[in-house]
Amino acid sequence: MHSVENEPLRIGVPALAAVAQNTGTVVHLHTAGNTALAANVADEARIAPRRRMLKSGKVAYSERHVTIDCLVRDMSATGARLRIEGSVTAPDTFELLIPLEGLEANCQVVWRSGADLGVRFVAAPRIVAAKRQQVVCALTPAKAPTLRRKPRPGEVS
């Protein structure tokens, strides 16, 4: 019997290499500079470790004429978990669009559980120009707070 303790696990999954296409560039998610998708769990039993997130996305089908809003709950280099609220659900194959990151991926549904569904990427995700940007501004008061007592009307300070 052959021992496989010291051999790396080899699974027949196509490599997610950079390939130029007319709709964008296909890149491995870990090289895209996206820290939300970086692997951080070494002992996970999946092909590609997933990263929890909460991002808005769109499920697009019928040549992008029909779209459904969704939440991306977690993502890996090979798939994602989505949540779709409402009475309309996603078809078995569709395109996942995440406009905040400019990520587009052709997906196939692997499992469904209530409003959640698990998808695998049929091909490597494409990174295109982001359709919108996230701007975070700190909410600060106009003046710094002070402990000094405010003078009463008519009182000289």
Which of 10-14, 28-32, 96-100, 152-156 is predicted least confidently? 10-14
Mean pLDDT of the chain: 74
Find all residues with CB under 8 Å of 88, minimum gap 6, and list them. 68
Fold of 19-127: Thrombin, subunit H (2.40.10)
Domain ranges across the chain: 19-127
DSSP string, 96-145: EEETTTTEEEEEEEEEEETTEEEEEESSPPEE---SS---------SS--
Residues 48, 53, 59, 64, Cα dihedral to 10°: -90
Whole-number Å distance between alpha carbons of 48 and 44? 8
Q: In whole angstroms, what is the distance from residue 53 CA to residue 48 CA? A: 16
- For residue range 5-18, what is the model confidence (pLDDT) as tens digits? 443 333 333 333 33
Average pLDDT over residues 49-63: 92
What mean pLDDT do residues 131-156 have?
74
Neighbours of 16 (CB within 10 A): 19
Tokens encoding 77: 């280099």
The pLDDT tens digits for 118-130 are 999 999 999 998 8
